[in-house]
Amino acid sequence: MKSGFLVLCGLVLTSGVFGASVTSISNCPALTARTSPPKDITDLRPDDIKVLGALGDSIMAGYVMMGVSSSLDPNALVEFRGQSYAIGADSDAITLANFMNHYQPAKKGPSVGSHLATTCNNSCSQSQYRPDKDVLNGALSGAMAFNLEVELGYVLSRMKSISGVDVENDWKMITLQIGSNDQCASCNTTNSDKVTAEQYGASVEAAVKSIQSQSPKTIVNIIGAFNVSQVFPLSQQSGLKYCRMSNNDPSTIKNLKECACSADKNHKAMDDLAAAYNQQLISIADKYKAQPNGTFAVIYRPANINIMSFPIDALSNYDCFHPSQKGHQWMAKVK
């Protein structure tokens, strides 16, 4: 897979353009042991990263990724945070965090295990976290960009409480991916004025500024928004024997109810909004790009997700909206 492990194959994290073509992280070359610390963020390598954090929504939280076998399956209420594509650390998980073990096995911060989901709805609260499982995975199901302040408050506070973390001196990477719920909230909901491209960009940049001021030696790894609209035609075309529905009625597939913009007439506007979100993210990354002698940077990764090319089981059969475990594993390999 071209660029399958991106910055992890022994190359400078902040460049992001020289991914190696490998099929397993074990095939990535070893790094020669450092004789001195990195001189600045432009000299950063994967083995320098000691702490991982994450911000996002139910995708980053690993909600319902294991699917369900019946309408009463408790998995419909669970976040599988230890399998989250960016920050999960369960021993069998195919995740970015576990890929990084190839270079730095002594990391702090990845989430583990699973727990009952809690949903933000119109507001998020730090009381929703399970710190022993979430660790520095600050993602909350239902979150939108304007909720990042709450998530970041938890992550920065929790970081200070973890034994062995030197907040001032350890190099850290915080992965941020958000925007799916924002797209769905753009269709005449009570939050539509909060999810414009300008408001989205302002919320993300506010989070970036907070990280910069409160978390020295940090690289913020921003992953772009993708076209959420594609889950609806995919599930209607390929999911009629896979997606859970009532009385074999495709109109009861849960993704149609989970997103206020699910109607066909809204899909182009959703896609345009996702593109506008990404332009905001690109501008933020350019504004905060790595500089010589610097200790902070933002990097932007396009989502590289064409949902219409997915096999249907890359989505959770519970709602055909959230990625399944297979979907998370694929995302980990291309991030």
- What are 45-80's pLDDT values in tens digits? 999 999 999 999 999 999 999 999 998 999 999 999
Hey, CA dihedral for 310, 189, 204, 86, is it positive or negative? negative
Q: With respect to residue 14, please indicate whether it lies within any of the assigned structural domains.
A: no
Q: What is the pLDDT of residue 304?
A: 81
Q: With respect to residue 64, please indicate whether it lies within any of the assigned structural domains.
A: yes
CATH of the domain at 69: 3.40.50.1110
Q: With respect to residue 36, please indicate whether it lies within any of the assigned structural domains.
A: no
Q: With respect to residue 67, please indicate whether it lies within any of the assigned structural domains.
A: yes
Q: With respect to residue 86, please indicate whether it lies within any of the assigned structural domains.
A: yes
Q: What is the pLDDT of residue 17?
A: 37
Distance CA 141, CA 119 (A): 5
Q: What is the pLDDT of residue 22?
A: 65
pTM for the whole thing? 0.93
128 closest CA partner among 188, 72, 206, 63:
63
Mean pLDDT, consecutive 10-residue segments, the chain of 335 residues? 39 41 77 92 95 99 98 96 98 96 94 97 91 99 98 98 97 98 94 97 99 98 98 95 93 96 98 99 98 97 91 97 97 83
Q: Report the number of distinct structural domains present in the chain.
A: 1
Inter-axis angle of helices 148-161 and 197-214, to 10 degrees?
A: 20
pLDDT in tens, 20-29: 566 778 888 8
Q: What is the pLDDT of residue 282?
A: 99
First to last CA, the chain: 12
Q: With respect to residue 25, please indicate whether it lies within any of the assigned structural domains.
A: no
Q: What is the pLDDT of residue 31?
A: 86
Instruction: State the residue range of the domain holding 138.
Output: 41-334
Q: With respect to residue 101, please indicate whether it lies within any of the assigned structural domains.
A: yes
Q: With respect to residue 131, please indicate whether it lies within any of the assigned structural domains.
A: yes
pLDDT in tens, 103-113: 999 999 999 99
Q: What is the pLDDT of residue 83?
A: 99
Q: Which two tokens stand for residue 308?
A: 């219409």
